[in-house]
A and B are shown apart, each in its own frame.
Chain A
């Protein structure tokens, strides 16, 4: 495909240009600096997500942005596309010659919305476009209209011209329509021009979203997980599209992706940005440094697809455990996006997630961010519906049970970053949870309101109210150690290990933690 005046046109053979690839791979392009950020910081509540990030983006680069804390990557992307203001830092944009500097924190009148220049529209007019994790096509518009809406400088968007210069608008409209139709044909969607966007499959929708950003005239595109939730065939299409954009159209790309997809675009990349601990590291692209699978001779390891594993520890001295929670071929969607489940290589039916938790037993689900661990847990909890598959508790199907029925059937679940109830005191939290005995270390906190506690303290309260609450059979804890300090994490880890000698305990662990090798994840 070639871009002529903002339009993509397809050559006969869109072959992979090895020469260009060899030139650009392994060496950072020395193009003009398009974007420079220094000291970007952002905190959500007490959680510091970005801590003084410095970066520089040059023309022609293909950056892969990866990181172990999911919200850091998307936070950075949201800042670079002006969907979020950082707490501090400086952002310099220099596309199209004109430099623009944004300093943060912004002035009080800008916070009130007066003369606030840091807006998505302005950033786009500087040449920076983006695509979204949840795609965000205009659902009630047809595909053709989705692309047409993006085309800049349309006379008819001004209502005065729409009425007063009807014939000029009509002429431009027919050009716009045929141009949009051509784009769709290049994407293999020529027949679907009139199809409503909400009916399109995820893979196709992502292609259309990328084409939309290109058609709108972006010179830099930040792509938020372009390959997530997409079947193999469309992954190839999207990767090819990205290759064309980078190597033929010379569009600078910043791509957030996850470990199991990164390999597919690593050969495109010129630069690797890694977000860790709130800081950004700039490196040459390589597959090193990605989280390994945690192997342990003493544990059984079950592969769950897309590099996630379920590790179980046999409990010494206990009889072979009985299956207690069985998850069979589970497929879960959020909207139209497949979150839990895998597309097959051969394009066959989606493969659901299956595993069994036995009692007693301690299980760790190691999954990279955005694998869908939290969604899986919410589906087991009954908060979101299941598209396909079975969840059995002690032999009984529970997919139709309400969340509170599942609790009374013996499942207790602690979601990630659970905040409890802000307006209750800690004592009331424990009362509500019907805690049998007050856990240690809460004497000073009992009469405090949850809203006045730090994130870690709230997490502590929520976890201990489950651990000391009514007896349960299966406990599922989503990233329980997330906001805790080391001492507290050790205490909870020990308690979970103790409980695992009687019950089935599942803990999800983000991929980063297995590489740190910190002691408290080893249960004695």
Chain B
């Protein structure tokens, strides 16, 4: 039962991440490798707010979302001018910078919380408060947050705003030729996307009680991008398919008597194979609408 709750919590975190990528990749048409960076912003903001300032759950999460949304301006301004490979480069640069900040904003023996030490470097931040005391309650909290994120996604993406995003993705120049500005749409969409990534990060930090710079690793960005692509994007269901697959695949492999370490590698190997097969046979993913080709 405990394990099932653990899986549920992780499903919620992955689903929120998949929704975040759905907005940026599926609706705005920008492949990104920066998601782990914004995840880390959420995780660290929550950790610092909770450990240093003693904030409760909701304000701490909101802080992470706001900081992440502000930090998304870098990407949205880049998206005003760039797309495709060049935008991927920008997103990589942003991820590298955020990782650098997480690893390095810690000078020698300075105390955590001073301007000399905001992240505690490779040691990370521990003793992060859990807002609820049982795993069961945390699972309910996670489900509620995921549900809330899903409702917000539905409201936004099924609205005229979502329609503008899709039109912009299909043909930005034609849309601008109809008098619709696209810059603010990108700013809002990216802020929403990065805010969702930060929400997932905060949830992660609250659950584990500990964060370190590894949450900002590029490998996570790659993994989550795979998850989103394979699950499918451009509609409201794809993210859930992607999250489910990411969660259940290792379980299936474990069921097949594979040792855990091997199972992890096999899962990633299968992901790589799926990505390749997908570009040939099913570019819209399991149940998405946006075709990556």
Report the Cα distance A152→B169, complex, angstroms.
Answer: 19
CA distance A149 to B178 in the complex (A): 9
Q: Which of B55-63, B83-91, B158-166, B219-227 contacts A (4 or more CB under 8 A)?
A: B158-166
Cβ of B122 to closest chain A Cβ, rounded Å: 38
Q: CB-CB < 8 A to B188: which residues of A?
A: 159
B266 within 8 Å of A (CB atoms)? no
Q: Which of B101-127 contact A (CB under 8 A)?
A: none
List CB contacts (< 8 Å) of B233-289 with chain A: 234, 289
Residue of A nearest to B189 (CB): A159
B53 within 8 A of A: no
Within 8 A of A (CB), among B162-197: 162-164, 166-167, 169-171, 173-182, 185, 188-189, 192
A138 near B167: Cβ-Cβ < 8 Å: yes
How big is the B interface, by class?
20 to 34
CB distance from A132 to the nearest CB of B (A): 7
Is B155 at the interface (CB under 8 A from chain A)?
Answer: yes
Residue of A nearest to B171 (CB): A136
Separation in Å of the A156 CB from the closest CB of chain B?
A: 4
B81 in contact (CB, < 8 A): yes
Contact B152 A212 (CB under 8 A): no
B156 interfacial by beta-carbon distance below 8 Å: yes
Q: A63-113: which residues lie under 8 A (CB-CB) from chain B?
A: 81, 83, 113
Decide yes or no: A121 and B161 within 8 Å by CB, A149-B167, A162-B155 being known contacts: no
* Docked CA distance A173–B289 (Å): 23
Contact digits for A168-207, partner B, Cβ 8 Å, 1 yes 0 no: 0100010010000000000000000000000000000000
Are A148 and B163 neighbours in the complex by a CB distance under 8 Å?
A: yes
Contacts of A159 in B (CB 8 A): 156, 159, 161, 188-189, 192
B159 near A138 with CB under 8 A, answer no
Which A-chain residue is minimally distant from B185 (CB atoms)? A157
Q: Say whether A163 contacts B155, CB under 8 Å.
A: yes
Determine the interface band of chain A, counting residues with CB < 8 A from chain B: 35 or more
CB neighbours of B156 from chain A (8 A): 159, 162-163
| A396 CA / B126 CA spacing, docked (Å) | 76
**Which of chain A's residues has its CB closest to B170's CB?**
A138
Query: Closest approach, in angstroms, between the C-beta of A364 and any C-beta of chain B?
Result: 37
A138 B161 Cβ-Cβ under 8 A: no
CA distance A272 to B119 in the complex (A): 69
B166 engages A138 (CB within 8 Å) = yes
A83-B173, A159-B156, A163-B152 known; A121 vs B181 contact (CB < 8 Å): yes
Q: Would you call B178 and A173 a contact (CB within 8 A)?
A: no
Residues of A within 8 A of B81 (CB): 113
A125 within 8 A of B: yes
Which residue of chain A has the shortest Cβ distance to B77 in the bound complex?
A113
Q: Does A401 contact B (CB under 8 A)?
A: no
Task: For the complex, give the distance between the alpha carbons of A137 and B166 in Å.
Answer: 12
* Closest beta carbon of chain B to A341's beta carbon, Å: 26
A452 within 8 A of B: no
CB within 8 Å for A212 and B160 given contacts A113-B81, A120-B173, A139-B170: no
The closest CB in chain A to the CB of B151 belongs to: A163
With a cutoff of 8 Å between Cβ atoms, the chain B residues found around residue A217 in the complex are 179
State which of A113, A120, A155, A156 has its C-beta within 8 Å of the C-beta of B176. A120
Give min CB distance, A383 to chain B, whole Å.
20
Q: Indicate if A216 sits at the interface (CB-CB under 8 A).
A: yes
Task: Give the residues in chain B near A166, CB-CB below 8 Å.
Answer: 155
Known: A149-B163, A158-B161. A141 touches B174 (CB 8 A): no
CB-CB contacts below 8 Å: A123-165 with B = 124-125, 129-130, 132, 136-141, 145-146, 148-150, 152, 154-159, 162-163
Q: Which residues of A contact B161 (CB under 8 A)?
A: 156-159, 162
A254 to chain B, nearest CB (A): 14
- With A141-B167, A163-B156 as known contacts, state yes or no: A121 contacts B176, CB within 8 Å: yes
Q: CA A26 – CA B89 in complex, angstroms?
A: 57
A130 to B179 CA separation, bound complex (whole angstroms): 11
Task: Closest B residue to A136 by CB, please name it.
Answer: B174
**Contact present for A130 and B177 (CB under 8 Å):** yes
Q: Are B289 and A140 in contact (CB under 8 A)?
A: yes
A1 to B201, CA, bound (A): 55
Residues of chain B within 8 A of A121, CB atoms compared: 176, 179-182
A138: which B residues are within 8 A, CB to CB?
A: 166-167, 170-171, 174-175
Residues in A neighbouring B173, C-beta threshold 8 A: 83, 120, 136
Shortest distance in angstroms between B183's beta carbon and chain A's nearest beta carbon? 9
Known: A113-B81, A163-B152. A149 touches B179 (CB 8 A): no
Determine the chain A residues whose CB is within 8 A of the CB of B174 once the complex forms.
Answer: 132, 136-138
Residues of B within 8 A of A157 (CB): 160-161, 163-164, 180, 185
Residues in B with CB closer than 8 Å to A137 are 171, 174
Which residue of B has the minimal Cβ distance to A164? B155
A154 near B160 (CB under 8 angstroms)?
yes
**Inter-subunit contact A149/B164 (CB<8 Å):** yes
Q: List 22 A-B contacts (CB under 8 A).
A: A83-B173, A119-B176, A120-B176, A120-B177, A121-B179, A124-B179, A129-B179, A132-B174, A136-B171, A136-B173, A137-B174, A149-B160, A149-B167, A149-B180, A155-B160, A156-B161, A157-B160, A157-B164, A157-B180, A157-B185, A163-B152, A163-B156
In the A-B complex, the 6 residue pairs with the closest CB atoms? A124-B179, A156-B160, A162-B159, A136-B174, A120-B176, A138-B170
Chain A: residues with CB nearer than 8 A to chain B?
A: 81, 83, 113, 119-121, 124-125, 129-130, 132, 136-141, 145-146, 148-150, 152, 154-159, 162-163, 166, 169, 173, 176, 212-213, 216-217
Known contacts A152-B179, A157-B160; 19 additional CB pairs below 8 A are A119-B176, A120-B177, A121-B176, A124-B179, A132-B174, A137-B171, A137-B174, A138-B175, A140-B170, A140-B234, A141-B166, A145-B167, A146-B167, A156-B160, A159-B161, A159-B188, A163-B152, A213-B178, A216-B179
